[in-house]
Amino acid sequence: MGNINWRTILRLGLLGSVVALYFSMIGMVEDFSNRNLIGDLLNLGHVLLYAGIAGGALFAAREHSESNTVGRGLIGLATGALGALLPSGLVLLSSAINMRTVFVNVNPALSNIITFGRGVPTGLLLFVLASAVVGLITALFTVLPETWRGPVGKSFGIVIISAVFSDLVRQVLTNIIGSGMVRSLYVGDAYRPLVAAVLFVGLIALFFWLDRRAKQSNETTAIPQTDAKARQAKNRRNIALFLGWGVFLLIAPWILGSFLSQVLFEIGRFVLLGLGLNIVVGYAGLLDLGYVAFFAFGAYTMGILTTTTAINPAPGVFTFWTALPIVVLVGVVFGLLLGFPVLRMRGDYLAIVTLGFGEIIRILALSDWLAPIMGGAQGILKIPNPVFFGLELNSPELMYYLVLAGSLLAAFISIRLRDSRLGRQWMAMREDEDVAEAMGINLVQTKLLAFAIGAGFSALGGAIFAARLSTIFPHSFNLLISINALSLIIVGGLGSIPGVIVGAIALVGLPELLREFQEYRLLMYGILLIVMMLLRPEGFIPAEVFKRELHSDEDTGGPPAVEAQV
Amino acid sequence: MQKFIPKRLSGVDLFLRLFQIAAVALILIAIFNTASEARYTASQWATLLFAGLAQGSIYALIALGYTLVYGILLMINFAHGEVYMAGAFSTVFLAAYFARTGFLNEQPWLAILIMILFAAAISTIVAVLLERIAYRPLRNAPRLIPLITAIGASFALQYTFRGLYGAEFRAYPEVAILRGNMNLFGFQVPVVQPFVFITALLLMGALYWYVERTKAGKAMRAVSEDKDVAKLMGVDIDKVIVTTFMLGGALAGAAGVFNGLFRPQGVFFLMGFFPGIKAFTAAVLGGIGNIPGAMIGGLLLGVIEALGPNLILEGLGIPSANQLKDAIAFIVLVMILIFRPQGIFGERLAEKKA
Amino acid sequence: MSLLSIKNVTKRFGGLTAVNDLSLEIKDNSISSVIGPNGAGKTTFFNCVTGFYKVDEGSIVFDGEAIHNLRPDLITSKGIARTYQNIRLFSNMSALDNILVGQHVQLHTMWAEAIWQSKRFKDEEAAALAEARRLLSFVGLQGMGDLVAGSLPYGAQRRLEIARALASQPKLLLLDEPTAGMNPNESGEMTHFIRNLRDELGITILLIEHDMRVVMDISEQISVVDYGSKIAEGKPKDIQSNPQVIEAYLGRGAASGLQRQKAK
């Protein structure tokens, strides 16, 4: 059976228990338990409650890689049961004394969830049993042969995730197979149990088959394809992928409906912001936490110039389109103005001063002093929607195209600049300011260009935002926008344009789809940022080193000649 | 780490010099205007000054946490404001319990002492966990990375405490002996203000003694001078770092209780953000890494913030100047970092900042 | 005719005088070395020439133009390039990108042209890339252009740094300990390579070096610096027998001992 390290089990079991206790006490388990995933059997609260326990058991089983099936099963049982310790303690304690006056979320509802509604003695026993079983199953999962583990793991993940985002999945399914069919698959928001089981088994079979096919094709094509052929195939695939995405992006709002178009708009808005911030932080390495300021300048400039209320100094002169160049210009000018004083700051100082700028702008926008210009706490009302050749862009579906166009433009400019002399200047400066200067790079100019271009994108985003909402308040421009934008480019991968898009979908899009999530969004951001920095600081899609050499025609192999060739 | 190199950007220098002159001129004009119009009486100014000193001593206590950690690790513990919040927010329940049982009014000094110890304990635990989870694994990472985890930790802590205690404001109970005014230098001053001020000074004195006179303090100073040499001399770096976070946490926790006694608005989960930034400003003002600097910087910032709106902003003819109070700290911060980044007492920054 | 003429340069850090009243003439198309014990102020001197430090006193004239008040980037654009004692590549960028950054002062398109990809931009980029490839193989790193600079082996990093410096097409190249950390074999190759730079490309070379074999082998003129001041100057064989130099390196006792030995 191998040696069982009880201290590891104790440590990991308690760690899992702490995680379960944490999610219980901060109210996530209870709030998330309203979201059923599979009938009445499994809800999101359960997933959260048992996630830590299962994690503990998983690691404990992995630590004992030399143990056999029975041994690992026992380890899983023990770790899982141990994981139940702290939540059980919490239930016992809260049944004895009223903890709600301090810990608002430790209430009977939570106890009910933990004890399956059976009360203290029986329910608690059930909970310990359930934890042990969860631990057992997780531990046994590690015993599965390699060929099975992948498909089972992936299928389980897909079932859970598709159930969590059932709003999105159902919306798409409804458009494809009709609402009647969809209703037969779901009960409320959750999968019918049978559907989930069929899906799970089906997915396992599918992945199993895919893996085998991939392996077979690897074996049959043991003879390496010529590089040219492979490249051609890859190019073709890329073009197909590109076209596919292009078509999807164009028709997306009409498949997804109004609510999801709104979500797409939000994603697009943050893609635009993220691309701008990516230039400043990702390329030039200037950590800017006051990025929201330029977004605010953009929104306010658009608001002031086009609103129909008394705040407009020149009512009726500007439309959205004629104001747009002015907005971008204002953004760029303020980017230069705010960039100037911080030219000589680096790293953390730069971060805090820019954060200060962002807050100063917000406080000023809120003040009575500037209220005659910026509207004060009431903000600016009645900003008209843009009109595009007679078509008023008044719905989320139509505004989506505007933000899509803006994002594409920003992505285009980002890519072009990245691969230019300026892009190399930025990156050299990010890597080593002193050496960059010794290469003949003018740091002042290079930094200011980064601030200015980044600010321009942000102002453009702000203008579109103002036109979409028709009303802007100082509170819409708080630090969280900056943090959101920063988080998404970090999670996606600093300096990586696909990373910005993935980051925006993950950090802006998904939370919109998960209503229960809203309250815990910033908590999750915080944890995600820490976890990302600890485990994968380069992000989900790390920025690639730009490849210029063609490997096919210049593969020298072996080490290069030592002798310099003159 | 490369040496600090003085940079020459002559155009930039010129611009900044002009900016500096304009700022000073503006402040002088504003003060002159306010003084010549005699808008406020001496006792009104005194009221503002005493409130500013009390608030400033709270900033100073928090600022010490920034400065201690910066001195040792050369990083800004962005989440320090949340360490302060954790102590203040947790202790409000203990204070309410003491008030309910009558203990707070029977044994007020003892009760307040217990509250301070409790808050310090909670903040210390949070600070140590923060170091262990978010900073220690990244000690050798590029500078940007721990800063990002610090931002993450800041949000994680805020919303964890919101989850634990709820989103509402909760007010500290009033303590009978701290109610009312006392006569100080001929001015009527709320008793709580000198109390907060003096207790905070005592705590700062204790810290100064600890760092300057004890063996552990000596180890801290050694690590802050040169980590590698200190290690060779047998100093346990990890222990020193944990001690640093504990000290900073304890002072922040105490500051949390003072804040609760001092300000009637109460505490809530986002309360750490502004004091955190302001205390950081105070630390930079005094010269980050410099312990007396953080104390003086905190008091100074408290006073600037208290007098600033009436003295300067109103002198410039800005209406409802108090709305801009929070912006003052940021403006001070930007000004120092532009014109005297080493702060009032700091020379060390020049050597240490990469 | 001298390309670089340094007159009475002094640089102080607080109480420490790192470079003290130093004068130096570097002839066009020559190879010169600055040697001296550790902490003698050699690298500080380089930093003064490249504009990284502002000199407190004295003047530096390069190619007939006073440069001691210029910003580092402007000095580079006048035709001075350098390498660093502890290699400072842009370590997360590819080798080719490093060289392309080095070409900065040779490129002229504006960033706006990069967005609409004007013909001028495309031509210039293509030419720059070809030049970068050429330089890469010139230093013997052909085929390694796409590798991240930080992942290259030590010797390759040194050569890449030189290629990056050459990319700015300098008239004067400052090399700060180019053979540091190399074995005798490798430093022999490096010596050969440096001499080629001068012979083939006509670049004037000034180096700081500790390896006396390299210095004596390659230099036409050697300046010895100690405590920031120049204590000797001359041809390699003059320097080798100069008692002041021996004293600076080995201390007074050893120097007098050597003198006695010689006398015998």
A191: left (phi over 0), alpha (psi -120 to 50) or beta: beta
pLDDT level of residue B19 (50, 70, 90 thresholds) = confident
Chain A residues with CB within 8 Å of chain C CB: 412-413, 416-417, 419-425, 427-428, 431-432, 434-443, 449, 545-549, 551, 554-556, 560-566
Closest-approach residue (CA) in chain B for C47: B5
Write the residue in C101, C138, C192 that is nearest to A424 by C-beta: C101
Question: How far off is chain C from A438, nearest CA to CA, in Å?
Answer: 5
Q: DSSP characters for A241-277?
A: HHHHHHHHHHHHHHHHHHHHHHHHHHHHHHHHHHHHH
Residue with tokens 């009637």: B264
DSSP lists the bridge partners of residue C232 as C224
Inspect the interface and report whether the beta carbons of C52 and B5 lie closer than 8 Å.
yes
Q: DSSP characters for B120-182?
A: HHHHHHHHHHHIIIIIGGGTTS-THHHHHHHHHHHHHHHHHHHHHH-SS-BPPPPPGGG-SEE
At B6 the pLDDT is 46
Inspect the interface and report whether the beta carbons of C114 and A420 lie closer than 8 Å.
yes
At C260 the pLDDT is 61
Average pLDDT over residues A428-456: 90
Least confident of A30-34, A51-55, A415-419, C14-18: C14-18
Residue A541 has pLDDT above 90, yes or no: no
pLDDT of B26-71, one tens digit each?
888 888 887 787 777 777 888 888 889 988 999 999 999 888 888 8
Inspect the interface and report whether the beta carbons of B164 and A25 lie closer than 8 Å.
yes
Residues of chain C neighbouring B10 (CB-CB closer than 8 A) = 71
Given CB atoms, is B337 within the 8 Å cutoff of chain A? Answer: yes
pTM of the model: 0.84
The pair of structure tokens assigned to C84 is 């660093």
C-proximal residues of B, 7-26, CB under 8 Å: 8-10
Helix, strand, coil % in chain A, rounded to nearest 5: 75, 5, 25
Residues of chain B above pLDDT 70, percent: 95
Residue A546 has pLDDT above 70, yes or no: no
CA-CA-CA-CA torsion for A203, A209, A210, A216, nearest 10 degrees? 170
More confident residue, A131 or A510: A131
At A554 the pLDDT is 38
- Whole-number Å distance between alpha carbons of A47 and A113: 12
Residues of chain A neighbouring B151 (CB-CB closer than 8 A) = 289, 483, 486, 526, 529
Domain ranges within chain B, ordered by starting residue: 52-272
At B128 the pLDDT is 93
Amino acid, single-letter form, for residue B258: F
Inspect the interface and report whether the beta carbons of A533 and B159 lie closer than 8 Å.
no
Residues of chain C above pLDDT 70, percent: 94
Structural domains of chain C, ranges and CATH numbers in brackets = 1-79+170-264 (3.40.50.300), 90-169 (no CATH)
Total residues belonging to chain A? 566
Residues of chain B neighbouring A343 (CB-CB closer than 8 A) = 9, 12
Average pLDDT over residues A416-427: 90
Quick one: how far is CA B158 from the chain centroid?
18
Given a contact cutoff of 8 angstroms between Cβ atoms, the answer to whether B149 and B138 are in contact is yes
Given a contact cutoff of 8 angstroms between Cβ atoms, the answer to whether C102 and A438 are in contact is no
Provide the sign of the torsion angle of the four alpha carbons A337, A339, A342, A343, taken in this order: negative
Given a contact cutoff of 8 angstroms between Cβ atoms, the answer to whether A428 and A435 are in contact is yes
pLDDT level of residue C253 (50, 70, 90 thresholds) = low
Inspect the interface and report whether the beta carbons of A439 and C164 lie closer than 8 Å.
yes
Question: How far off is chain C from A323, nearest CA to CA, in Å?
Answer: 22
Closest-approach residue (CA) in chain B for A522: B155
Residue C1 has pLDDT above 80, yes or no: no
Q: Any residues with CB less than 8 A from the CB of A445 and at least 6 apart, and which?
A: none
pLDDT of B170-215, one tens digit each?
888 888 777 777 777 877 778 788 888 888 889 888 888 888 888 8
- Enter the DSSP assignment of B193: H
Cα–Cα distances in angstroms (integers) from residue A314 to residues A97, A297, A311, C11, C211, in the given order:
65, 18, 9, 59, 75
For the purposes of burial, counting CB atoms within 10 Å of the CB of B309, is it exposed (0-12), middle (13-18) or buried (19 or more)? buried
pLDDT of B250-305, one tens digit each?
999 999 888 888 877 888 888 888 888 889 888 888 888 888 888 899 999 999 88
Residue B5 has pLDDT above 60, yes or no: no
pLDDT of A178-192, one tens digit each?
788 888 888 888 888
- Whole-number Å distance between alpha carbons of A417 and A283: 10
Give the H or E element holding residue B261.
helix B237-262
Residue C15 has pLDDT above 90, yes or no: no
In degrees rounded to 5, what are phi and psi of residue C168? -85, 5
Number of CB atoms found within 10 A of residue A181's CB: 11
Given CB atoms, is C46 within the 8 Å cutoff of chain B? Answer: no
Disruptive mutation site among A283, A426, A431, A441 for chain C (greatest number of C CBs within 10 Å): A431
Domain ranges within chain A, ordered by starting residue: 6-213, 264-479
At C264 the pLDDT is 54
Residue A218 has pLDDT above 90, yes or no: no
Inspect the interface and report whether the beta carbons of C52 and B8 lie closer than 8 Å.
no
pLDDT of A98-109, one tens digit each?
888 888 888 888
Residue B8 has pLDDT above 60, yes or no: no
Average pLDDT over residues A523-551: 77
pLDDT level of residue A533 (50, 70, 90 thresholds) = confident
Residue B117 has pLDDT above 90, yes or no: yes
Interface pTM (ipTM) of the complex? 0.88
Q: At what angle do helices A85-96 and A120-143 cross, to 10 degrees?
A: 170
Label the pairing between strands C221-226 and C31-35.
Answer: parallel
Inspect the interface and report whether the beta carbons of C72 and A438 lie closer than 8 Å.
yes
Residue B133 has pLDDT above 50, yes or no: yes
Inspect the interface and report whether the beta carbons of B5 and C71 lie closer than 8 Å.
no
Write the residue in A421, A554, A561 that is nearest to C114 by C-beta: A421
Given a contact cutoff of 8 angstroms between Cβ atoms, the answer to whether C206 and C45 are in contact is no
Inspect the interface and report whether the beta carbons of A529 and B331 lie closer than 8 Å.
no
Average pLDDT over residues C103-120: 84
pLDDT level of residue B342 (50, 70, 90 thresholds) = confident
Average pLDDT over residues B85-112: 88
Residue B351 has pLDDT above 70, yes or no: no
DSSP reduced 3-state for A345:
coil
pLDDT level of residue A2 (50, 70, 90 thresholds) = low
pLDDT level of residue B74 (50, 70, 90 thresholds) = confident
At A354 the pLDDT is 87
Average pLDDT over residues A128-152: 88
User: Which of A75-89, A372-386, A549-563 ranks highest by mean pLDDT?
Assistant: A75-89
Residues of chain B neighbouring A523 (CB-CB closer than 8 A) = 155-156, 159-160, 163
At C163 the pLDDT is 92
Q: Which of B344, B192, B187 lies closest to B281 in space, CA to CA?
A: B344
Rounded to 5°, the CA angle B152-B158-B162 comes to 140
Residue A561 has pLDDT above 50, yes or no: no
Residues of chain B above pLDDT 90, percent: 16
pLDDT of A494-504, one tens digit each?
888 889 999 99
- Whole-number Å distance between alpha carbons of A130 and A252: 43
Inspect the interface and report whether the beta carbons of B9 and C71 lie closer than 8 Å.
yes
Inspect the interface and report whether the beta carbons of C97 and A556 lie closer than 8 Å.
no
Closest-approach residue (CA) in chain A for B2: A434
At A294 the pLDDT is 92
Buried b (16+ CB within 10 A) or exposed e, A470-505: eebbbebbebebbbbbbbbbbbbbbbbbebbbbbbb
Inspect the interface and report whether the beta carbons of B163 and A27 lie closer than 8 Å.
yes
- Whole-number Å distance between alpha carbons of B172 and B260: 6
At A278 the pLDDT is 93
Closest-approach residue (CA) in chain A for C91: A431
The pLDDT mean for chain B works out to 83
At A221 the pLDDT is 58
Average pLDDT over residues A328-336: 92
Average pLDDT over residues A37-65: 87
The pair of structure tokens assigned to B274 is 């502004």
pLDDT level of residue B348 (50, 70, 90 thresholds) = very low
Inspect the interface and report whether the beta carbons of C168 and A562 lie closer than 8 Å.
no
pLDDT of C119-171, one tens digit each?
888 888 889 999 999 999 888 888 888 888 888 888 889 889 999 999 999 99
Residue C43 has pLDDT above 50, yes or no: yes
Residues of chain B neighbouring C71 (CB-CB closer than 8 A) = 8-10
